[in-house]
Amino acid sequence: MEVDDLRTVVTCLRELGLSYEEFCGILKNAVDDIRPVKRLVGNPYAESFDSWLIRAGIVLVVFPDPTISDLIGSIMIAAGLIGRRMKQPTMADILVEFRDMTKSLKNMREELNYCPL
């Protein structure tokens, strides 16, 4: 390779590095913009953070040992339920609740239509 060829390669590599840097900056901005939307939308199939408290509490209540595990289990279940109640609702939660309400209204309508006079 000659010196001119090497200069051309170096110039191309610098331009490539700049384009990668620009791409990474754009990608970072996109991720920063999407992160709040992800929290708002939520995931209806995701395990909630507090579910391990509820599971561990149930295990302590169901399989008690001679100590005070049933009391600790009850406290863990209560803490898990409180944590679940304090979670901000997401769009997925609203969708699930809407489906439950429509099912409930449908069942009520069917009961009213079935009711003999």
pLDDT single digits (tens) 29-79: 888 877 777 666 665 555 544 467 777 777 777 776 666 777 777 888 788
pLDDT of residue 98: 81
Q: Residue 56 and residue 24: Cα distance in Å, rounded?
A: 42
Residue 40 and residue 91 in contact, taking contact as beta carbons nearer than 8 Å: yes
Q: Residue 74 and residue 78: Cα distance in Å, rounded?
A: 6
CA distances from 66 to 53, 61, 63, 72, 88 (A): 21, 12, 10, 13, 39
Q: Residue 65 and residue 62: Cα distance in Å, rounded?
A: 10
